[in-house]
Amino acid sequence: MSTNDERSELQNGGAEPNPDSDHLGPKGTEIESTDNDDGASSKLQRPIQSNGDDISPEAVDPEPEKEISGKDMPIESKDNVQVQKDGGSRTFTMRELLNELKNGEGDEGSEAADTGSGARHSQENTQQHTEKNSTAMDLINSITGSDEEGRSRQRILTFAARRYASAIERNPDDYDALYNWALVLQESADNVNSETSSPSKDALLEEACKKYDEATRLNPTLHDAYYNWAIAISDRAKMRGRTKEAEELWKQATNNYAKAVQLNWNSPQALNNWGLALQELSAIVPAREKQTIVKSAISKFRAAIQLQFDFHRAIYNLGTVLYGLAEDTSRTGGTMGGHDVSPNELFSQSAIYIAAAHALKPNYSVYTSALKLVRSMLPLPYLKVGYLTAPPVGNSIAPHGDWKRSLFVLNHEGLQQIHNDEQRQLVSGDKSSSARPVIKIDIPDIVSVSACADLTLPPGPSICIDTIHGPTFLIADSWEYLDTWLDAIRLVYTIFARGKTDVLAGIITG
């Protein structure tokens, strides 16, 4: 995995993700690539949250990846992040901000708004902000880039910092200036040359966190500030390994992601990064707390996927967290949350998500390596095999007593029922057609897949698969299995819609 692929990025705004875009919103984390190029690593690395080190003011790799458990988690690219200035009257990307500063153009709107505002503040208050500004400016002024590009970038960032410092001295209540200065500090942390006497990234990130704190106190609705603040805290936590201090920082990061999502629920990137932070936290907390936190991380990844079905980073991260949960339950000999979900089933679920991520992004070496590890855990030549309760073919309103629990198989072509007396054929690989009618849903015919609550259906978690031929209703064995069936069918359809069915077919048929 290239260096750029493993960088996190800052999001400055609530721009909705482009379904086809590889730049995934909030600064996040992605799974780290395995050490072996051939993917022969014995285990998947756990996802971790994006850190400030990943922030880059310049253009980022068109397919950035964030660290996940060990190192690769998705986060959104900075170029997609938008900063809102002057109460939202002006929105621009970080790159545009840097270009403006590079061209000598002022942040006229902000300065105009600040002119004369200092008169409203006492001299003592202004002096306090001047002292705070001095500390941050000393850090920024001492940074030297590792190359000419880095030095040029830092000059621009230093210029921006001076402007925001001046704006705050004139008006200490300018939350826009505080927020943008925090971004500059966070960007500068990524520009630190570790081989020189430059200030530590941690000191810059700490100053950035202070600015975000001040900005959100002045304007508690700045979801972008909470989001990027969480990223900065996560980066600080990653520097501290698995210590008590890191645990507290991860908790702070999850709290800020929660606030960001509460203020802007339609952000799959924030949900994904929230899941990564929870996953990192689960590796530090006492064992009795771990499974609860892991299940919360799973819910965040799943929510991110439901907002953007082709969000391959969240899909992959969900696979890795399930893999880790499967390892834990295998060691303890238990089941997930006391429910009848065995380690083997969790391994199989993990493989489904990793296979789907690879099908959506087959050129990602991280996904390729992970797939080599988990492919054998799939029920080949199918993606998923499991039981569902179904009505007689062609009679979805049949009496409840006529519904029967039977085996279903899902592959790249569709979902098909297998009668109990035909399972021997499935095991032997005999694909000869059955004389008995079966429920069969072709992927191209699907219109929507959703959970449903209909009192006319038998009790249990219900699935509605609406097709061009009408709806099909099925009942899952449990709510946990309902989620995995919904995800699996939606992912196969998404892969079809993205024109990647051949990739998925290659995975499950060999």
**Amino acid letter at 272?**
N
Quick one: pLDDT at residue 438?
A: 92
Query: Beta-strand (E) ranges in 220-377?
Result: none
Pair (410, 267) in one structural domain = no
Task: Tell whether 366 and 394 lie within a shared domain.
Answer: no
Do residues 399 and 298 share a domain? no
What's the confidence (pLDDT) of residue 131?
A: 55
**Bridge partners of 464?**
450, 473
Strand partners of residue 83: 92
User: pLDDT in tens for each of the 510 residues of the chain?
Assistant: 333 333 333 443 333 334 333 333 333 333 343 333 333 333 455 443 333 333 232 222 323 333 333 333 333 333 333 333 333 334 344 555 555 555 554 444 334 334 344 444 445 555 555 556 677 776 766 666 666 666 777 778 777 778 888 888 888 898 998 999 899 889 888 877 665 545 688 889 999 999 999 999 999 999 999 999 999 999 999 999 999 999 999 999 999 999 999 999 999 999 999 999 999 999 999 988 998 999 999 999 999 999 999 999 999 999 999 999 999 988 877 665 555 688 999 999 999 999 999 999 999 999 999 999 999 999 999 999 999 999 999 888 889 999 999 999 999 999 999 976 666 555 555 555 556 789 999 999 999 999 998 888 999 999 999 999 999 999 999 998 999 999 999 999 999 999 999 999 999 998
Query: What is the chain's percent helix, strand, coil content, to nearest 5?
Result: 55, 10, 35
Length of the chain: 510
Same domain, 371 and 390: no
CATH code, domain carrying 464: 2.30.29.30
Are 369 and 388 within one domain? no
CB count in 10 Å sphere of residue 100: 16
| Predicted local distance difference test score (pLDDT) of residue 451 | 95
Q: From CA 492, how far away is CA 359, in angstroms rounded?
A: 9
The confidence score (pLDDT) of residue 215 equals 95
CB 25 within 8 A of CB 75: yes
- Phi first, then psi: what are they for 449, rounded to 5°? -135, 125
The two tokens of residue 356 are 């789907």
Q: Are residues 397 and 348 in the same domain?
A: no
Convert 129-154 to b/e letters by CB count within 10 Å (16 or more is b). Answer: beebbeebbebbeebebeeeebeebb
Show which of 357, 377, 397 is a domain's final residue. 377
Instruction: Write down the pLDDT at residue 132.
Output: 60
One domain, residues 343 and 405: no
Q: Specify the number of domains making up the chain.
A: 2
> Domain with 82 in it: what CATH number?
1.25.40.10
For 47, 323, 329, 375, 487, the CA distances from 343, given in Å and listed in that order, are: 19, 9, 6, 16, 19
| Domain co-membership, 22 together with 143 | yes
**Could you give the residue ranges of the DSSP H alpha helices within 333-463?**
343-360, 365-374, 423-428
CA of residue 274 relative to chain centroid, distance:
7
Rounded to the nearest 10 degrees, the angle between the axes of helix 312-332 and helix 365-374 is: 30
Q: Which of 356, 377, 398 is the last residue of a domain?
A: 377
Cα 406 to chain centroid, rounded: 35
CA angle 202/250/54 to nearest 5° reads 50
Number of H helices, E strands in the chain: 16, 9
Q: Are residues 166 and 234 in the same domain?
A: yes
Which 3 state secondary structure label does DSSP give 373?
A: helix
Q: What is the pLDDT of residue 437?
A: 86
| Pairing mode, strands 446-452 and 440-442 | unpaired
- Listed residues 377, 400, 433: the one ending a domain: 377
Query: Are residues 444 and 362 both part of a single domain?
Result: no
pTM: 0.76
Residue 455: the pLDDT is 86
Q: Domain range for residue 477?
A: 384-509
Strand, helix or coil for residue 27: coil
Residue written as token pair 């080949």: 380
Q: Are residues 371 and 413 in the same domain?
A: no
373 lies in the same domain as 388:
no
